[in-house]
Amino acid sequence: MDPIATAQYGMMAATFRFDDAARRTVGSAGGEFGDLAQASVDMAEAKAALEANVQVARTADEMLGVLVNISA
């Protein structure tokens, strides 16, 4: 299992979720408040997921660097 590839997939999925929520935010500008609130929550969740996946990629990269240094 490749943690960096998994994190990349997670970042891509979070970006798509954020974009979808942003489109719904713009689309609900004249609509109901509930749609706007849900879109805002979805954007916050997508942002948190993106940040978590970035941290996974950073940690995996650091671990790989340590492993290379140990084996050298």
Q: In this structure, what token pair is assigned to residue 30?
A: 């004249």
* Number of domains present in the structure of the chain: 1
Burial of 28: CB neighbours in 10 Å, binned 0-12, 13-18, 19+: middle
pLDDT band of 1, cuts 50, 70, 90: confident
Range of the domain at 64: 3-71
Distance CA 29, CA 27 (A): 6
Distance CA 7, CA 54 (A): 7
20-70 pLDDT, tens digit each:
999 888 877 666 556 788 888 999 999 999 999 999 999 999 999 998 889
* pLDDT at site 30: 65
* pLDDT at site 63: 93
Q: What is the pTM of this model?
A: 0.81
More confident residue, 21 or 1: 21
* pLDDT at site 60: 94
Task: Name every residue whose Cβ is closer than 8 Å to that of residue 2 and which is 6 or more positions away in sequence.
Answer: none
